[in-house]
């Protein structure tokens, strides 16, 4: 992930690199101009030195003719050596050595040196006629060298004029380049400043708007989408996660509050429907023991079932129990109703033992079975059948309470599912807990919205199906 600091460093380095490249280009171009000017100046100096050395060599030769001593001889050879060295530099300095003027100029200097050598040699041989002729040729050559030097210098000046015009044009181009560079730098700086600031202010604006929504209580707004690949994107993702966590926590608090309200409501109904329940429970136990001693085993069994049902209903409503305990309570309830209604009511239990470890809220199955009995079977003269079926389907435990009673309309089903008749529903006789209370507690505890399905038609019976998540590995 890139950082804002890293982006700034890259932008500044790019600008510095641009200026460095420009500075280096200007420096290289200036060096080229300086080198060109220096070469031209050195050529002027070389030509002037050759012309001066030629004049000095002629003067030294003439002095040696007049007075042939060792001093004049040494001066001659020294000046001659300098002239020959300068002559060799011509090929390295001038780029137009192949021109006719330059070839003639070199030949003229070589001829001049040759004539001075012949003059000195004739003096040493004491051949007066020869050295006078050679001295005269050397004098003429020296004059020609001076004139030719002026011509070469004139050619050089002509070339220098072109160079000077090129220099002026380059200077003009440099001025245009500097203006272009200045304007481009300002435009790029403004562009990068606006682009970079927009990359910061726009995400911050989104975060600010979303924060105001959260402050006003809107916890389900649109997520903040930031795609800057830096700290701002991390901030946006963290904000979205924070808002989601706040929303989940808020819903959890609401669900817990509603669950507490339902529990309190159930406890109140318990108090309304129970008169000294512990005394009643102890009395039932006493009656059961007396019936057993009097060999009234059916009566004793019935009393035991009633006592078990009462004991289960006296437990703490907000606790969870296993399905195994709930099924045991249903069996006790079935036993009581079987004794009451004899052959009018048939009860059927089909349970997958692998599902009985699932924990559910206390008093979940018995109120549903009682609801099926009260509203489905009790009103039919011919009676009916109630079935409790528990099985596993994928990762869910399915609990079905079936009856072949009077059934209900789709409108009634919709009202139960949507809980619009919560205050008017008929509550259970034995526990005071109704269908809506059971469904809502399951939704709150399992945090699922679709834990119940109801299938029914008038006169065709009813199926209440609970769909509860169950992961045996967890």
pLDDT mean across residues, the chain? 77
- Percentage of the chain surpassing pLDDT 90? 9
CA distance 202 to 99: 72
What's the CATH fold of domain 317-474? Heat Shock Protein 90 (3.30.565)
Higher pLDDT, 221 or 385: 385
CA distance 350 to 402: 11
Query: Tokens standing for 99?
Result: 């021109």
Tens digit of pLDDT for each residue in 207-253?
787 787 777 777 677 777 777 776 777 777 787 778 777 777 777 77
CB 172, CB 118: distance < 8 Å: no
Least Cα distance to 223 among 214, 231, 447, 1 occurs for 214
| Burial call 83-118: b when 16+ CB within 10 Å, e when fewer | beebbeebeeebeeeeeeebeebbebbebbbebbeb
CB 219, CB 241: distance < 8 Å: no
Across 94-103, 128-137, 152-161, least confident range: 94-103
Q: How sure is the predictor about 43, in pLDDT bands with cuts at 50, 70 and 90?
A: confident
Tens digit of pLDDT for each residue in 294-307?
666 667 666 666 66
CA distance 320 to 322: 7
Q: How sure is the predictor about 263, in pLDDT bands with cuts at 50, 70 and 90?
A: low
Query: Tokens standing for 403?
Result: 């009856």
Count Cα neighbours of 156 within 13 Å in the Cβ-side half-sphere.
23
- The domain made up of 4-192 is a member of CATH 1.20.120.1730: yes
CA distance 314 to 278: 8
CB contact set of 435 (below 8 Å; sequence gap of 6+): 367, 368, 371, 416, 425, 464
Tens digit of pLDDT for each residue in 323-341?
998 898 888 888 877 777 7
Across 205-214, 372-381, 446-455, least confident range: 205-214
Least Cα distance to 86 among 167, 16, 1, 145 occurs for 145
- Percentage of the chain surpassing pLDDT 70? 78
- Whether the pLDDT of residue 361 is over 70: the answer is yes
Q: What 3-state class would DSSP assign to 442?
A: helix
Higher pLDDT, 393 or 450: 393
- Whether the pLDDT of residue 163 is over 60: the answer is yes
Average pLDDT over residues 188-206: 78
- Whether the pLDDT of residue 471 is over 90: the answer is no
């Amino acid at each position: 992930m890139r950082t804002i600091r890293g982006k700034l460093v890259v932008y500044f380095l790019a600008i510095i690199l641009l200026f460095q490249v420009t500075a280096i280009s200007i420096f290289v171009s200036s060096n080229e101009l300086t080198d060109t000017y220096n070469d031209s100046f050195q050529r002027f100096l070389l030509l002037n030195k050759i012309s001066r050395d030629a004049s000095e060599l002629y003067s030294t030769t003439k002095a040696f003719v007049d007075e042939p001593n060792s001093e004049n001889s040494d001066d001659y050879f020294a000046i001659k050596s300098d002239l020959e060295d300068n002559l060799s530099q011509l090929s390295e300095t001038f780029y137009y050595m192949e021109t006719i003027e330059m070839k003639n100029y070199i030949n003229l200097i070589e001829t001049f040196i040759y004539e001075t050598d012949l003059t000195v040699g004739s003096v040493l041989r004491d051949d007066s006629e020869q050295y006078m002729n050679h001295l005269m040729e050397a004098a003429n050559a020296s004059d020609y060298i001076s004139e030719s030097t002026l011509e070469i210098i004139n050619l050089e000046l002509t070339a220098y004029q072109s160079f000077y015009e090129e220099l002026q044009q380059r200077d003009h181009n440099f001025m245009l380049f500097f203006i272009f560079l200045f304007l481009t730098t300002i435009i790029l700086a403004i562009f990068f400043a606006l682009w970079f600031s927009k990359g910061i202010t726009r995400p911050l604006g989104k975060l600010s708007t979303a924060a105001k929504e959260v402050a006003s209580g809107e916890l389900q707004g649109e997520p903040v989408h930031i795609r800057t690949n830096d700290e701002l994107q991390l901030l946006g993702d963290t904000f979205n996660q924070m808002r989601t966590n706040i929303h989940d926590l808020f819903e959890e608090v609401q669900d817990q509050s509603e669950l507490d309200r339902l529990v309190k409501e159930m406890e109140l109904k318990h108090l309304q429907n129970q008169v000294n329940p512990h005394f009643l429970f102890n009395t039932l136990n006493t009656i059961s023991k007396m019936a057993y001693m009097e060999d009234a085993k059916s009566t004793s069994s019935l009393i035991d079932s009633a006592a078990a049902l009462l004991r289960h209903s006296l437990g703490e409503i907000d606790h969870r129990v296993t399905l195994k305990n709930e099924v045991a309570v249903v069996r006790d309830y079935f036993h009581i109703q079987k004794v009451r209604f004899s052959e009018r009511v048939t009860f059927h239990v089909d349970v997958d033992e692998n599902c009985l470890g699932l924990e559910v809220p206390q008093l979940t199955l018995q109120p549903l079975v009682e609801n099926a009995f009260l509203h489905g079977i009790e009103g039919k003269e011919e009676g009916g059948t109630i079935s409790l079926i528990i099985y596993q389907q994928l990762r869910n435990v399915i609990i079905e309470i079936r009856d072949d009673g009077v059934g209900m309309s789709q409108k009634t089903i919709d009202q139960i599912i949507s809980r619009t008749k919560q205050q008017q529903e008929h509550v259970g006789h034995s526990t005071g807990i109704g269908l809506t209370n059971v469904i809502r507690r399951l939704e709150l505890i399992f945090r699922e919205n679709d834990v119940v399905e109801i299938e029914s038609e008038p006169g065709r019976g009813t199926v209440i199906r609970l769909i509860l998540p169950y992961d045996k590995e967890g």
